[in-house]
Amino acid sequence: MSFSPFFVHGTLFLLGVSFVFWFPNFFAFSIFLCICGVIFYCFARFTKIFGRLTFIFLIIAIGSLSFSFGALRTYISFPQEPPFGEYLSQEVSLSGYVADEPIQKETYIRYSVVAYDLKNVRVLVYDDLTSQVSYGDSVTLEGKLSQPENKDTFNWVGYLSHQNIFYEIKYPNVIVESPEMVPFFVSLQKKLFSIKYAFSKNLSRVIPEPAASLAGGELLGEKRLLDKKLNDALKISGVSHIVVLSGYNVTIVSETIMRVLSFLPKNISLYGALLGIFLFAGTAGFSASVMRAALMATLLLLARRAGAHYQARRALFIAAILLVFIKPTLLLYDTSFQLSFLATMGILYGQKYFEKKFIRVTPRFGLRTALATTVSAQLVVLPLLINLSGGIQILSIPANMLILPTVPPVMFLSLTVGVLGFFSYSLSFIFGIMATILISYQLAVINFIGSISFANVSVPYITSLFAVLFYVVFFVKILWKEEEK
């Protein structure tokens, strides 16, 4: 037996990355492993001292190189706490730009500010609900500097530190200034966001709440506007993935552009589609889950153009490794990245299998596909979800079967409403009513299942180590099968 070297080394790289997060003090070991790898490789490749075992040593050498490569990359990325200690619990004044889209909670609005003069210093800001600050604004904050504290069992401090956030200011005096000093890429991102805002404005003009927020979530992955009650109901009924940008959204964008531009030379429509994917990912703030989807869609387009056979599984792996290489903290600290990666994997490996199993379920209304998709994705995501939430959403399969078939029409109608809204209020209004009716159905299902007391069964907490062990076994099994084909 032999595994595809690509998958093996990719997995080892990812293992190396996660190794560092669990055992942060093994820097010397990683260096040692790296050097060993190089030495073994040289000896095995250029001498004959290993005799017949040369091949095995070569594999081990490259394997340990992949592993230590992942580990060292992660060590380099480790954030350094800025020397701000002396200013703690003192009144400070700090100028910078708003570095993310403010998140509205029940009692406050939260965002982070990157300081101008201190490179890479990010401060978390809690602001009043009435705050009018938006992404990319240039602000001066006056308030007391403090350090975040852990909430309940969640390692909030650790989570923040991996985003380079070590300090927070609660309810500061916020002065918005002229945006001269804001970096170029931030202004660009701000423009991309404004496209999204204009779009969701068109939705909210003709669709009432909370249907408008849900439509924005399904089409644009805009989750910030969902209220807590709906968010909880989405989680309990196990359908919160519908408000996450997925490969599906990205594929719709690229396919639509390709079709619209199909009268042009092939290369131009290809570039158009690639640009469209880039812009779409941009309106979503280049978040990890949308980047995963965008990279896969890009690889699909490129493979098709080159006449190569597109291997979705390989593309998924390439996308994951590339993103983790760019930002190692994604692997263990970005839930949306983890869920999107695992769910896609489940679908790629399991959907066909389950569709054959559920031969007795009617394929009408897309029910069989919905069931197969849900089961395959849920199975793979389950250990992570248990680890994250300490519960199993036992009604998620019927909930998904009821909801998933309505997601494409809702996306189509919302897209129509959003586009028409730029030209004609009345036309968008008609489609808005249709969208509202469909979304009201979704809301009814979500709220009903979300209110059932036994929908969320709490289970004993499983440690992340156990979850990861599960996934390692699972990966190995998959790689094995991959080889048999």
Instruction: List interacting residues with other proteins (CB under 8 A).
Output: 104, 106, 128-132, 201, 204-206, 208-211, 225, 227, 429, 433, 436-437, 440
Strand partners, 94: 141
Which of 206/478 has CB closer to other proteins?
206
User: Token pair for residue 412?
Assistant: 């189509």
Distance CA 304, CA 325 (A): 26
Q: Which is nearer to other proteins, 191 or 201 (CB)?
A: 201
Token representation of residue 299: 């690889």
Question: What's the CA gap between 266 and 261, in Å, rounded?
Answer: 9
Min separation Cβ 213 and other proteins, Å: 8
Give 4 or 132: the residue with its C-beta nearer to other proteins: 132
CB of 130 to other proteins, least distance (A): 4
350: CB partners within 8 A, 6+ apart:
372, 375, 376, 377, 379, 380
Distance of CA 423 to the CA centre of its chain: 33
Q: Which helix (H) or strand (E) holds 309?
A: none
Closer to other proteins by CB, 197 or 475: give it. 197
**Cβ closest to other proteins, residue 130 vs residue 463:** 130
Residue 150 — φ and ψ, nearest 5°?
-70, 140
Question: Pairing mode, if any, of strands 122-127 and 165-170?
Answer: parallel
Minimum CB separation of residue 366 from other proteins in Å reads: 17
Q: Residue 312 and residue 293: Cα distance in Å, rounded?
A: 11
- How many CA atoms are closer than 13 Å to the CA of 406, on its beta-carbon side? 21
Nearer to other proteins, 201 or 266 (CB): 201
Task: Write down the least CB distance from residue 187 to other proteins, Å.
Answer: 21
The minimum distance between CB 204 and other proteins, in angstroms, equals 5
* Nearest distance in Å: CB 206, other proteins: 7
- Rounded alpha-carbon distances, angstroms, from residue 336 to 21, 244, 259: 18, 8, 30
Cβ proximity to other proteins, 42 vs 129, nearer residue: 129
**Least separation, in Å, of the C-beta of 466 and other proteins?**
38
Give min distance, CB of 406 to other proteins, in A: 15
- Provide the 3-class DSSP secondary structure of residue 311: coil
Tell the smallest beta-carbon distance from residue 122 to other proteins (Å).
23
CB of 409 to other proteins, least distance (A): 12
Q: 91 or 128, CB closer to other proteins?
A: 128
Q: Which residue lies nearer to other proteins by CB, 121 or 243?
A: 243
Strands (E) in 231-312, as ranges, are: none
CB contact at 8 A, 340 and 244: yes
**Shortest spacing between CB 112 and other proteins, in angstroms:** 19
Q: Which is nearer to other proteins, 225 or 379 (CB)?
A: 225
Write out the two tokens for 211: 């249907």
How far apart CA 9 and CA 63 sit, in angstroms, is 6
Using alpha carbons, select from 478, 482, 466 the residue that is nearest to residue 346.
478
Scanning the structure block, which residue is given the tokens 């197969």?
372
What angle separates helix 335-357 from helix 288-306, to the nearest 10 degrees?
60
Give one DSSP letter per residue of 352-405, joined into a string: HHHHHHTTTS--GGGHHHHHHHHHHHHHHHHHHHHHHHSEEETTHHHHHHHHGG
Placement of tokens 């440690």 in the chain: 463
Could you write out the DSSP letters of every residue in 177-212? Answer: E-GGGS-HHHHHHHHHHHHHHHHHHHHHHHS-TTHH
CB-nearer residue toward other proteins: 183 or 208: 208
